[in-house]
Structures are given as structure tokens and as C-alpha cells.
Amino acid sequence: MRKLKVTTGILAIAIVTLTAMSCKDNKKEQTIEEGQQSEASMHDNSDGHHDQEATHDNSDGHHDGDSGEMSSAARDIDVSTQKNAATTPIIDAYIQIKNGLVADNKETAAKGAEGLLMAFSKFDMAKLTGDTHDEYMEIAESAKEHAEHIVKSPIDHQREHFETLSTDVSDLISLLGTEKTLYQDYCPMKKLSWLSETKDIKNPFYGSEMLTCGNVKKQIN
């Protein structure tokens, strides 16, 4: 009788264990299935909701809900608010590139890129120490690489390199500050930002094709 009770107890434990494993597996399968259904619903664009709009003059700010922040997303930078004149030559050269792309003029953009390379070569790093120096070097190396491509590339490739260059210059301003008043503008079509010296939207990513596509996200200084 005792042997029968032991056997019965073992069977009961086995049944409970199998039941628990089965519930766990079913829950796992259900979670996976729900995740797949959720992913499918997120990527089902057959209803045309993701089609580009016919007109893109967004100066009324209808795209303000989009994330247009371009600074410090990939780099961990403590934002500086100091009025720093040392960054002005770099920013001025960047603005020349931007204005060249706005005007669909690759020669002007290339000259701005040459000016940017010159500005970085003349920048005095003597006052930069520790993490600030290291972060500056990272930003400068990236910016110079993209400027070199802008010097020698056709305008469509210039615009591609200008995308990351805009992040580099914004990060430089966050790191070291600027004496200039600038505006961070956002292009909802590209989901990218750039810096401008004026409030007027003039989109460097599209030029005359969609000149006024975008809106002002924030003012610097």
C-alpha cells in the first residue's frame, strides 16, 4: 500500500509539472503570435496612409509632433550655453554649405566645405581638456570626413553627407557653445534637421524642389 501511495504521489507531481510546462509554452506561443500580429499591423501600408503628401509646405508647424532633435542623440554631451566665438568660423562655413544646397549650387556648397576644413585646421584646441577634448576630436574627425566628400561630390551626394554634417555641427555647438543666433529646422519628409541663420525655411535637402518644406524646431541663443 505504501508503494502504491508513493507511486501515486510521483504521478501527481509529474502531472502538475507537465501542466505547468504546457501553460508556459502556450503563453510563450501566444506572446510570439501576438507580437507577430502587432508587427504585421505596424507594417501593413496597403491602405496608403504612408504615402507622401502632394504638397509639403509645412511652415504652419503641422509636423511639430515629429522628433526633430538632432543633437546629442548618439553622443553623450552636456549642452553648453556659453557665448563662444571660437566656433564661429566653423558655423559660417557650414552655413555656406547649407546655402549652396538651398540654391542647388554644388560649387558654392563645395567652397563652403573647403572653408569648413580650413576652419577646423585653424581651430585652437589648447583650451580643450579631458572629455571635452576627446568629444571635440570625435566630432571634428566626422565633420572633416563629410566635408571632404562634399568638396568633390555631385549635389545629391553632397546632400547625403550634409545630413550627418548637420548633426556634427549641432553637437559641436552643444559641446562648446556659440555666439551666433541660429535656428534648428526640421524636414518632415527626410525626418532630419539642419541649422539656419534665419527663421525663413529654406530646405537644403530638397532645394528648389521643395524649398519651404519644414518648420523651426527651436532657436539657439
Domains of the chain from N-terminus onward: 85-220 (1.20.120)
Residue 168 · residue 210 · CB < 8 Å: no
Handedness of CA 82, 93, 138, 130 (dihedral sign): negative
DSSP string, 9-71: HHHHHHHHHHHHHHHHHHHHHHHHHHHHHHHHHHH--TTSTTSPPS----TT-TTTTS----S
Whole-number CA gyration radius for the chain: 27
Residue 80: predicted pLDDT: 72
Residue 163: predicted pLDDT: 97
DSSP string, 129-170: -HHHHHHHHHHHHHHHHHHHHHHHS-HHHHHHHHHHHHHHHH
With 0-12 CB in 10 A as exposed, 13-18 as middle and 19+ as buried, what is 114?
middle
The continuous run of DSSP H or E covering 119 comes out as helix 106-122
Residue 78: predicted pLDDT: 66
Number of other residues whose CB lies within 10 A of the CB of residue 39? 10
The predicted-structure confidence for 65-78, as pLDDT tens digits, reads as follows 344 445 444 676 76
Residue ranges in the chain whose pLDDT is less than 50: 1-69, 71-73
The continuous run of DSSP H or E covering 219 comes out as strand 215-220
Residue 5: predicted pLDDT: 45
For the record, the C-alpha cell of 99 comes out as 546655402
Alpha carbons 182 and 192: distance in angstroms, whole number: 16
